[in-house]
Chain A
Amino acid sequence: GENVEQHPSTLSVQEGDSAVIKCTYSDSASNYFPWYKQELGKRPQLIIDIRSNVGEKKDQRIAVTLNKTAKHFSLHITETQPEDSAVYFCAAQTGGSYIPTFGRGTSLIVHP
C-alpha cells in the first residue's frame, strides 16, 4: 500500500519567515495530495490540495508543489503568522481507493 513520509516533525520559525514542509510517497498511482491543518484540540481542516496533472498551486500565502517523477510534494507558507501555528498533515490518495494515506504530521510553531 501507499506509504507517506513527512519531514520535519517539528518546525519552529519566526513570524514573517517562510516555512516548508516536505512529503514523499511511494505509490506512483497516487494522484491527489491534500494538506490538512489541525490546530490544538481541533479537527483537521483541508487547507489546500493538488492533483497530479498540476505541478504547483497557490492560495494566498500557501502554495503546494508536486514532483511526480521524484514522488514528493511540499507545502510552502510565506510570511508566517502566529495563527499558522498548528500540526500540518500531508496525504496521498490513489485513484482506485480514494482513501488518503496521511503523513505523521509536522508541528509548526510560529514565534511572534
Chain B
Amino acid sequence: EPEVTQTPSHQVTQMGQEVILRCVPISNHLYFYWYRQILGQKVEFLVSFYNNEISEKSEIFDDQFSVERPDGSNFTLKIRSTKLEDSAMYFCASSTKTGNYGYTFGSGTRLTVV
C-alpha cells in the first residue's frame, strides 16, 4: 500500500532556530497538506497546497511558516524561527483529488523546541 513518508521522525531544535520538515507524498496525489497535533489535543489544519501554490491556510500558518515543493517528489514545511509553542507532532497528508475524500497521512515528525 502506498505511503506518505516523513523525515525526520523526531527533531529537537533550539528556540529561534529554523527547521525544515520533509514529506514525500504518494506519487499520483495532487493535493498536499500539513497538520499539527499538540500533545493530547486535536489535529489542526495548517495549510493545503495544489499546483505549486497554497490553496488554503489557517490562522496558525503565519509568516513564520512556509511550504515548498522543490522538486517532483518532496513537500516541505519550514518554520523560520521556532518558538516553544511550535512543539508538536507535524503530519503531512496527501490526496488524489480535492473534495469529500479522506486523506493519507504520513507517520509524522515530532518537533521539540527547547
Specify which of A31, A93, A102 is in contact with B44 (CB 8 Å cutoff): A102
Contacting pair A46 B102 (CB below 8 A): yes
Interface string of B74-114 (1 = CB under 8 A from A): 00000000000000000100000011111111111000000
* CB pairs A–B below 8 angstroms (15 shown): A31-B100, A32-B99, A32-B100, A32-B101, A36-B43, A36-B102, A42-B107, A43-B4, A43-B108, A44-B105, A45-B105, A89-B43, A95-B99, A99-B45, A104-B41
Specify which of A42, A44, A95 is in contact with B43 (CB 8 Å cutoff): A44
Q: Bound complex: CA of A32 vs CA of B98, how far in Å?
A: 12
Contacting pair A104 B42 (CB below 8 A): yes
Contacting pair A44 B42 (CB below 8 A): no
Contacting pair A93 B103 (CB below 8 A): no
Number of A-B residue pairs having CB atoms within 8 Å of each other in the complex: 49
Count B-side interface residues using an 8 Å CB cutoff. 21
Q: Bound complex: CA of A32 vs CA of B108, how far in Å?
A: 24
List, in ascending order, chain B residues with CB within 8 A of A93's CB.
Answer: 100
List, in ascending order, chain B residues with CB within 8 A of A95's CB.
Answer: 99-100
Q: Bound complex: CA of A49 vs CA of B100, how far in Å?
A: 9
Specify which of A43, A89, A101 is in contact with B106 (CB 8 Å cutoff): A43
Question: Which residues in window 32-69 of B have CB below 8 A to A?
Answer: 33, 41-45, 48, 56
Q: Bound complex: CA of A97 vs CA of B45, how far in Å?
A: 12
List, in ascending order, chain A residues with CB within 8 A of B106's CB.
Answer: 43
Q: Bound complex: CA of A32 vs CA of B95, how far in Å?
A: 15
Specify which of B48, B100, B101, B107 is in contact with A43 (CB 8 Å cutoff): B107
Interface string of A66-104 (1 = CB under 8 A from B): 000000000000000000000001000101011111111
